[in-house]
A and B are shown apart, each in its own frame.
Chain A
Amino acid sequence: MADQPPRAAGRTLAGFAVFALVLLVVVPLALASQPYWLTVFSNAALLALGSLGVWLTFSIGRINIAQGAFTLVGGYVTAILATRYGISFWVCLPLSAAVAALVGGLVGWPILRLRGVYFSMITLSLTSTAGLLFLNGGALTHGAEGINNIPRPAVLSSNLAFYLASAVLLLLGTAVIWRFAHSRLGYVFRSMRQNEDLAWSLGIDVARYRILAFVVSSAMGGIVGAMFAISQQSIFPSSYTVNDSVTFMLYCFLGGLDYVAGPVFGAFLLVIAFQLLSAIESYQALLYGVFMIGCMLLRPNGLLSLVLAPPGAEQSS
């Protein structure tokens, strides 16, 4: 007796395999001689990874507009450790995730008690606060000048290598979030979104699980920040603003909150669409806006709801 029918589980696995094949084989083969587009795809993969974290906080019923703050934290951790202490990026990367997770845990503990728009407003202001903190970080962060000349590890010096690293991270992140969503933890998370009081009454430690979700989300933000830091080789307090936090959230909305693939789909679609629209530069933002509004009106459950049934309803009549 499986709640997810075996066939559906098989389909998911097949879907993941196809996704991995496209990311790791098709895209590199198609774009090997186009460094610009490789960079676009790297960006899309990393932004998708950050959105996956935001998606996890959505799954517990919190609209998280703070991911920009955690990418900033991750970026600065890598920047400071690499430039001041010459620490290898492969140590910086997990440390960025760990510090972002720690900050997420400390900040999340008080603010996750808030719900709805109150939580969103606080997370929104967190992004600005993070920027201000790094602006006033003195010798450690070099204020508005930021930190430059962040070394990029030799292995990742080519666009292709950097893209592949981003793609692998995205695949790992997707697998982790997929496990969250489809194990009993995912049920627990969704139960908290639907009715926290009922979840408490069934013995679920709601406070602990909502911090878990936020910490995982923040760690993913930290990883994204670290990757962008070595790709840009510089970081500033204004590298990630409220706009970026909102965009992370929008990718989730666009793809669909019911699906793990939602934020990934949303991120790739919007990042690539934005590049294609750049030919008509002056109308780029306008078209982008109209497109988003259209999606919200016509497919409020996300674009993936066009092709996928809502989860949990596979066997219903």
Chain B
Amino acid sequence: MSILAVERVTRRFGGLVAVNDVSLAVEPGMIFTVIGPNGAGKSTLFKVIAGFLAPTSGTVRFAGETISGLKPHIIARKGLVRTFQETTVFKEMTALENVVIGHHMRARSGDLGVLFGLPAARAEEARFRETAAEILTYLGLGHVLHERARNLPHGYLRALGIALALASEPRVLLLDEPFAGMNPEETDQAVRMVRGIRDRGVTVLLVEHDMSAVMRISDRILVLNFGNRIAEGTPAEIQSDPAVIDAYLGQADDMVGL
């Protein structure tokens, strides 16, 4: 059974159809990518899946359960967690504090326990700090645990955003353009990081612009154009699909990764 299934989802904004009757199915352990030119509806689809927008019609299922229409924090608690475009982290907190927040939804101790510093809550808190430090070290941020996020360089922030999401122990991680604005070397690093996440047993759905990275990393690719699904398949199939080449016509070849 697919862990994440989008079934005939349409999302309209007034007269504009941002996503039109799109379906997709992500199998566990996969890296699944949604690509498309600007304005193709990728971000809208992404927001619908994560619960930040309700679909106009259609449903989103997570592990067989309908999640469309649920609030984002409920969806996150079920194990479907998103990251944001660019470098969205809590800028005024240290790297470690950021990741501790990411743990919050796995907490068992209640608010009162945390407030009064009861032993169980304290122990949990200490455990969170430990695993937060572990995750940060795993992603190469072990040396900046106590640095405020806003003082960190761009590439680190991207990794921190992913560390935040990983801390919540997702079953499916939604990555919003994780390679945007990276140079080839940074992209290589990020590609390894995303593979590493998948190897830890997390299914990955990513929305991306950078074609060469996508072709290297994805198990399966869905192509959107003007809100419509125009192709789906393995990277090799996508690269030779005439409809895809058509949609990207006029763009530089290296954008398409051909």
A residues lining the B interface (CB < 8 Å): 1-3, 176, 179-180, 183-185, 187-188, 190-191, 194-195, 197-206, 212, 312-317
| Contacts beyond the supplied A3-B94, A3-B96, A185-B115: 17 A-B pairs with Cβ under 8 Å | A3-B100, A184-B114, A184-B125, A187-B104, A188-B104, A190-B93, A197-B52, A197-B88, A200-B73, A201-B82, A202-B81, A202-B105, A203-B73, A203-B104, A203-B105, A312-B92, A316-B151
The chain A residue sitting closest to B79, CB to CB, is A203
B residues lining the A interface (CB < 8 Å): 50, 52, 71-73, 76-77, 81-84, 88-94, 96-97, 100-102, 104-105, 107, 111, 114-117, 121, 125-126, 128-130, 133, 146-148, 151, 164-165, 168
Task: Return chain A residues, CB-CB under 8 Å to B105.
Answer: 202-204
* B72, A191: Cβ atoms closer than 8 Å: no
Count: A-B pairs, CB below 8 Å: 114
* B102, A212: Cβ atoms closer than 8 Å: no
Partner of A184, one of B52, B104, B151: B104
Query: Secondary structure at chain B's binding surface: helix, strand, loop or mixed?
Result: helix
Partner of A206, one of B73, B91, B121: B73
The chain A residue sitting closest to B126, CB to CB, is A1
Determine the distance from Cα of A180 to Cα of B90 in the docked complex, in whole angstroms: 18
Task: Return chain B residues, CB-CB under 8 Å to A1.
Answer: 126, 129-130, 133
* B94, A312: Cβ atoms closer than 8 Å: yes
Determine the distance from Cα of A317 to Cα of B72 in the docked complex, in whole angstroms: 36
Determine the distance from Cα of A179 to Cα of B116 in the docked complex, in whole angstroms: 7
Partner of B72, one of A3, A200, A314, A315: A200
* A194, B104: Cβ atoms closer than 8 Å: no
Partner of B101, one of A2, A179, A202: A202
Which of A183, A194, A203, A205 has the largest number of chain B CB atoms within 10 A?
A: A203
* A204, B94: Cβ atoms closer than 8 Å: no
Determine the distance from Cα of A3 to Cα of B126 in the docked complex, in whole angstroms: 9
Determine the distance from Cα of A195 to Cα of B149 in the docked complex, in whole angstroms: 13
